Amino acid sequence: MTFSAFWRSLRHDGRVTGVNLPGAGELGAMLGAVDQLPFIVVVCEGPDLLVVACNAATRAVLPGREVIGRPIREVISDLSGQQFVDAYYEVYRTGEPIAGRQWRAHITQPDGSVHEMFATFTIVPWRDDDGSLRGVIGAAFDVTELARTRQAAEAEADRLRRRYEQSRDVITALQRELLPSGLPVLPGLQVAASYLLAEAETGAGGDWFDAVSRPDGTVALVVGDVVGHGVTASGVMGQLRAVLQERLDAGASIAEALAAADRLARRVRAAYASTVCLALLDPQTGELSYCTAGHPPPLLIKGQNRSGPPVPGTGPARYLPATGGTPLGTGGAFPTRTAHLDIGDLLLLYSDGIVERPGATDNAGDLASVASDAAAGRALHDPAATAAERVCTQTVELLVRAGGHSDDITLLAAQRTPPVPDLVVDLPAEPAALRGARARIGGWLAAQGAAEHDVFVLQHALGELATNAIEHAFGGAFGKDVIRVRATLTPTGHVEATVTDHGGWRIPERQPTRGRGLALTAQLVESLRVEPGPDGTVATVRHPLSRPARLLTGFDEPLVVPADLDDPAITEFTITELPGGDEARVRLDGPVDAASAALARQELLRRSRGGTVPMTVDLSGVTHLASAGVSALHMVADSHRGEAPLTLVALPGSPARQVLEMVGLSGVTP
């Protein structure tokens, strides 16, 4: 007798009916065999799926339950919301089997506790010999131990992944701290750098770059590579960079600086065989000397000047000859070679990760071609980037996106550009003239290649000094009240600017929106000096310019279009009342300076009814917040000291937020 015939002969009460039944001994053996099956077996019959048979493994999973003769929905009612019951009736309805792998089940025990198990199961239709559907048969394996093992393995893998990511983050943060925070902005030279971590799971490596402006007006350009990856390589990189930076800043020659790094590499085992390309460039003359200490030679991208400013990448690109220098610590020498950069020429230093990419066939040729296209603006459109920045970012993106990269990649580019003339602005001693002066200052700084933060700092600082001069200058040497702003970029990358008035010192009339200009200026710049004299007052500021290097993590940043400094939306002040119910809500846009601060104060006090109505002021559109504007906001805040609060909304990083954080005005929220 087969098992299928045996199941068909079972009645609801568990008795066997039909013909040709086995003898008592054979039947007992068959029942015993079924009962000993090492997996769960449940047989259900009819539309209600009454349970007609189950084995010991099933009863062990469902202890204390009455099973035989009851619908499966009642037998496992505690699983009704866990899809198991629905699966039984779905098989009976469709006649199609259902299987599940490691389904989790919560089974209520006789004492009310809940037991969690995992089951891999199959539920199949039970058919008579004529093919008619009689019921369903469910078979399942208790795979709880297997699932727990899998969960434990996944948890351990997740723990190790998090630990790896944390370690990689630490190494990346260390690398970021050890690399230059910014690159100098120098007259006649635009410098940029980028660093891309290796894709391999080794963490950041020992690549580094540096650009050191020297007292004699030359700039040292360095790209190096320490053997290995991880914390050790990053630490050694930091030591080598520090040694070279100190020696170069002190005026050492290429050979002297590399000799100092070589001595370190002989003492520190992990620094052995590190490679360096070191170049000294005079931005004024274009004279270049360099040494390749076991490192790939620089790439020179020529520019042409047929009409208008020279454009890099329009001329031929070539690799300069290697100098024959040996890796650090190996006992060799550091000979140098010379070359010349014309206006428009661009020099690219790089680590070998960019030319040793997986699957690439003409690595050196690809680098020269792609870098030339990026320099000339023939690759991705990025109007806000300099040619040097395009080379450092777009070259990496275009070369690695197809085949990836297995090592860190470092690029350092320097392009000779026509020197920007010094800034000279004469403006009448009138608040209305300040906005035009700020635009002139911003345009001059942008032409120098200043970063957005430095433009913000110097526009605010010089604007405050000009405002201060307006309050004191009268009857000057020009026959009218005139203020002169002069600015120059020194060979070491510092802006030195003066604001001069030609009047006598006077105590201005009491104004509620003044008194914080000099204090704010001193916070913004590196140094401030004010020198009153018989022929006027000269205020001098000094501030270094730098552009951030790029530690690349991806290539999906949105396109940035430079702001139009002549856009009326930027240069005109407007105040807009917003819907606010019982609260006054106001948005300020444009510059809040000496020309507009009184109007802003008056309108804010009027709309808040002298501080008796709660008010929110949105400063997101404020493009310039001068000390006069700060004073106006302080007065409005003072009027709200009672029951009606004042809230100032300023976006993180915005001009208004940066100034408000410096002056410590309360009530500011992101």
pLDDT of the residue at 309: 61
List, in sequence order, every residue forming a beta bridge with 280; answer none if it has no partner. 220, 289
Instruction: Provide the strand spans (E) within 203-304.
Output: 205-213, 219-229, 275-281, 287-293, 299-304
Residue 18 has pLDDT above 50, yes or no: no
Residue 664 has pLDDT above 60, yes or no: yes
Top-ranked range on mean pLDDT: pick from 383-387, 456-460, 623-627, 636-640: 456-460
pLDDT of the residue at 210: 95
17 touches 9 (CB < 8 A): yes
**What separation in angstroms does the CA of 35 have from each of 58, 62, 199, 321, 364?**
9, 15, 57, 85, 74
Distance between CA atoms of residues 20 and 285, nearest Å: 112
Distance between CA atoms of residues 287 and 304, nearest Å: 18
Residue 477 has pLDDT above 50, yes or no: no
Residue 618 has pLDDT above 50, yes or no: yes
240 touches 224 (CB < 8 A): yes
Burial of 215 (0-12, 13-18, 19+ CB in 10 A): exposed
Instruction: Output the 3-class SS for 313-343.
Output: EEEEEEECCCCCECCCCCCCCCCCEEEECCC
pLDDT, average across residues 166-194: 79
pLDDT, average across residues 578-595: 87
Residue 564 has pLDDT above 90, yes or no: no
pLDDT of the residue at 326: 95
Residue 143 has pLDDT above 70, yes or no: yes
Residue 164 has pLDDT above 80, yes or no: no
Distance between CA atoms of residues 109 and 111, nearest Å: 5
Banded model confidence at residue 174, pLDDT cuts 50, 70, 90: low
pLDDT of the residue at 289: 98
**Strand 50-54 versus strand 40-45 pairing type:** antiparallel
| pLDDT, tens digit, 9 for 90 and up, residues 277-293 | 999 999 999 999 999 99
pLDDT, average across residues 138-153: 92
| Sequence-separated (6 or more) residues with CB below 8 Å from residue 58 | 40, 41, 42, 67
| pLDDT, tens digit, 9 for 90 and up, residues 96-124 | 999 999 999 999 999 999 999 999 999 99
| pLDDT, tens digit, 9 for 90 and up, residues 51-66 | 999 999 999 999 999 9
pLDDT, average across residues 650-658: 86
State the DSSP H helix or E strand holding residue 77, giving kind and residue range, or none if neither: none
496 touches 448 (CB < 8 A): no
* 6 or 355, greater pLDDT: 355
Residue 253 in tokens: 């020659």
Of 49-53, 179-183, 361-365, the poorest mean pLDDT is in 361-365
Residue 327 has pLDDT above 80, yes or no: yes
| pLDDT, tens digit, 9 for 90 and up, residues 392-440 | 999 988 888 766 665 688 999 999 999 999 999 998 888 888 888 999 9
pLDDT of the residue at 190: 95
Dihedral Cα 47, 49, 52, 57, nearest 10 deg: 160
Angle, helices 655-663 vs 452-470, to 10°: value is 60
Q: End-to-end CA distance of the chain, in Å?
A: 81
Banded model confidence at residue 245, pLDDT cuts 50, 70, 90: very high
| Sequence-separated (6 or more) residues with CB below 8 Å from residue 24 | none
- 271: DSSP letter: G
pLDDT of the residue at 178: 72
Residue 404 in tokens: 């990836």
Top-ranked range on mean pLDDT: pick from 23-37, 75-89, 352-366, 513-527: 75-89
Answering whether pTM is above 0.75, one says no
pLDDT of the residue at 503: 67
pLDDT of the residue at 663: 77
**Strand 189-196 versus strand 550-552 pairing type:** parallel
Dihedral Cα 461, 467, 468, 472, nearest 10 deg: 150
Backbone angles phi, psi at 465, to 5 degrees: -65, -40
For the chain, domains (ranges, CATH) are 3-142 (3.30.450.20), 179-348+410-416 (3.60.40.10), 423-547 (3.30.565.10), 566-669 (3.30.750.24)
pLDDT of the residue at 556: 54
249 touches 183 (CB < 8 A): no
Placement of tokens 């099973």 in the chain = 67
In whole numbers, what is the pLDDT of the chain averaged over residues? 84
Burial of 356 (0-12, 13-18, 19+ CB in 10 A): middle
State the DSSP H helix or E strand holding residue 646, giving kind and residue range, or none if neither: strand 646-649
| pLDDT, tens digit, 9 for 90 and up, residues 254-280 | 999 999 999 999 999 999 999 999 999
- 308: DSSP letter: S
Q: Which of 13, 123, 108 is nearest to 68 (CA)?
A: 13
- 233: DSSP letter: H
Banded model confidence at residue 479, pLDDT cuts 50, 70, 90: very low
Banded model confidence at residue 567, pLDDT cuts 50, 70, 90: low
| Sequence-separated (6 or more) residues with CB below 8 Å from residue 388 | 190, 191, 192, 346, 413, 414, 415
Residue 612 has pLDDT above 60, yes or no: yes
* 433 or 168, greater pLDDT: 433
pLDDT of the residue at 651: 87
45 touches 87 (CB < 8 A): no
249 touches 493 (CB < 8 A): no
Residue type, 49: L
pLDDT of the residue at 480: 54
pLDDT, average across residues 582-609: 88
Distance between CA atoms of residues 644 and 613, nearest Å: 5
| pLDDT, tens digit, 9 for 90 and up, residues 295-307 | 999 999 998 655 5
| Sequence-separated (6 or more) residues with CB below 8 Å from residue 596 | 573, 590, 629
Residue 12 has pLDDT above 50, yes or no: no
Percent of the chain with pLDDT over 70: 81
**Strand 311-319 versus strand 299-304 pairing type:** antiparallel
